[in-house]
Amino acid sequence: MRNFSSVKSFLLSIGFLLLPLSVFAALPVSDVLRTADEAPVSRGEFVRACVKVFGTTGGERAVLPYRRVPRDLEEYIKAAYAANALQTFGGELYAAQPITRGQALEVVVALRHLTAEPTTQYRDARTSNALASAVAVALAQGWMEPRSNALFGVEEILTGKEARLFLRKVLGEGGEQPNATDSIPTIEIRFTPKSSQATTSSELPKAQILETLWKIIAQDYLHADVINPEDAAYNAAEAIVESLGDPYSTFYRPAGSRAFQSRIQGEVSGIGAQVEDREGVLTIVTPLSNSPAEKAGLKPNDQIIAVDGESLLDLSYEEMVDHVRGPKGSVAKLRIRRNGTEFDVEVTRDTIKVPEIEITWQGEIAIVKLMQFGKLSETDLRPEMKHIQDQSPKGIVLDLRNNPGGLLHAATVVTSNFLPKGSGVATIRSRTGERMERTEDEPTIKPTIPLVVLVNGGSASASEIVAAALQDTKRATIVGETTFGKGTVQEVLEFSDKSSLKLTIAEWLSPLGHKIDGIGVEPDVMVSLSERDEQLTRALSILNAGRR
């Protein structure tokens, strides 16, 4: 399948009259939205994809009110702006920022000229009539599923995989549909399966077809110079895992696998800067405090365009980050672009700890915030909690808001600080049976110390395991909003080439057998998020009042 730019070149080469780019032909989703499965989709990329797949026209003479619109996006932004589809972004587009599920819904609903009676069922979809109406359209059309009974998930960032599935549903496609204009000869291959139990066999399905297909391509495909065996193999692996339809099962190429493992391990060797992909350029969001990047004078919005003389442009986000990282003590020569000026900076890489635990005090109450459940939660939290106990706190707030989870064992370690040794944490149910995950250590916090756990719609997976266990045992008061509702367990397998597979292998239930997947944990005290952080205020009030 050719993408739009290659079709343009092809048509021009054979003398066809090509219509102006402001008249867009509808194109397949996979051709126009190529963001990696787990990567966030930018606002500009999503708008461009919508305009292309819907065949939106017009806007050539539109005058955009936005200060900065990338040149390669301008015609698409104009078409969407003329259709009044960009009002969700307010007065500034910020094309490089990730788009949320709610914003994506509003854009699509406007482009498709649909409306529905606003619903007040979801607490996070009441901010505007336009958003509530868009959510109602999505529910009526079956485009998106709510995260829980109380939260739709409009503030969650839309990933590449979710965006492609969303747009296919809008187009009425069950999956990627073949282009009817393609005329490709097919080869029929007949063979007898070794087993009649094809659906349960562990052998590779259609292995002979796949092997023969690759041999034909390798031997006869005209453009031999573009054949990339490694890329083809990874594409096939990604397609197999994607066919499961499970958002939590993912195949990682080596670069992506290293990035994933680094997040879980809590340490990475690099320059110590938070970065993001802004329109294909690796951009520093902020250098970490006292990091090599900060010591070298790097600043927010600095663009890293090359490392050791090798350009980062046209690389994937994972590949760009992989070039910046390296062994501790090695020197990275970075080509930096700042305010239009380019210069070189040498940065000595070091081991960087990814922030995971933050402890503060409000008077005699300790506030323990966990950003994720990684290796640091396993190794560093219990000593910190013992130190808190030594100070005889009046109460403890365990803040798990926006904590996406992590390691199952880390969740068990966190729970062990508050429950007797041997307490049930979660029932793990797989295809081969079930078992109870239990705490393995004595608690660090006395049972007389009151505990409040803060949760919201961003609390998922391991966060929900801890909250549910402490709720079932009545050890803590849960305050905030209904959690995300991810009640499955993934296993990570690494292959010899350093690629890896994250696969859903089990479901977990609370100690009392409550199902969490798709439901979430309901707080004991419901408090909506506000600018004044009413959730934390309520938690402190409960502890100061001596309530449990």
Block means of pLDDT (10 residues each) for the chain, 548 residues, are 30 24 48 80 91 86 85 89 92 87 94 82 76 91 84 86 90 49 27 38 78 88 87 89 87 76 61 77 78 89 91 79 84 92 92 81 95 85 96 96 85 96 94 91 96 92 95 97 89 82 90 93 92 91 78
Domain with CATH 3.90.226.10 in the chain: 357-544
CB atoms within 10 A of CB 23: 13
Token pair 């499970």: residue? 246
Residue reference for tokens 């003479």: 61
Residue 60 DSSP label? T
Please tell me which residue in 262, 416, 423, 461 is annotated as part of the active site.
461
Structure-token pair, residue 97: 């920022």
In angstroms, the CA 25 to CA 376 distance is 51
In order, the DSSP letters of 476-493 are SEEEES------EEEEEE
* Residue 422: other Cβ atoms inside 10 A: 12
Fold classified for 278-350 = Pdz3 Domain (2.30.42)
Paired tokens of 531: 């600018």
HSE value, Cβ hemisphere, 13 Å, CA-based, for 349:
18
357-544 CATH choice from 3.90.226.10, 3.90.79.10, 3.30.1490.20, 1.10.357.10? 3.90.226.10
Q: Which two tokens mark 202?
A: 């562990």
Active-site position among 463, 472, 499, 502: 472
Q: Where in the chain is the domain with CATH 2.30.42.10?
A: 278-350
Residue 109 exposure: Cα atoms within 13 Å on the Cβ side: 29
Catalytic option among 486, 500, 502, 510 = 486
Structure tokens at 61: 């003479």
**Rounded Cα gap, residues 317 and 173, in angstroms:** 29
* Residue 544 DSSP SS3: helix
pLDDT score, position 201 = 58
For residues 251 and 499, is the Cβ–Cβ distance under 8 A? yes
486 included as an active-site residue: yes
Strands 525-526 and 477-480: parallel
How buried is residue 229: exposed, middle or buried, by Cβ count under 10 Å (0-12/13-18/19+)? exposed
pTM of structure: 0.51
Single-letter code of the amino acid located at 318: E
Burial 26-61 (b: 16+ CB within 10 A, else e): ebbbbbbbebbbbbbbbbbbbbbbbbbbbebbebee
CA pair distance 358, 317, nearest whole angstrom: 28
Q: According to the model, what pLDDT value does residue 27 have?
A: 53
Q: What confidence score (pLDDT) does residue 265 get?
A: 57
Distance CA 108, CA 169 (A): 12
**Residue in the structure block whose two tokens are 């690629």:** 499
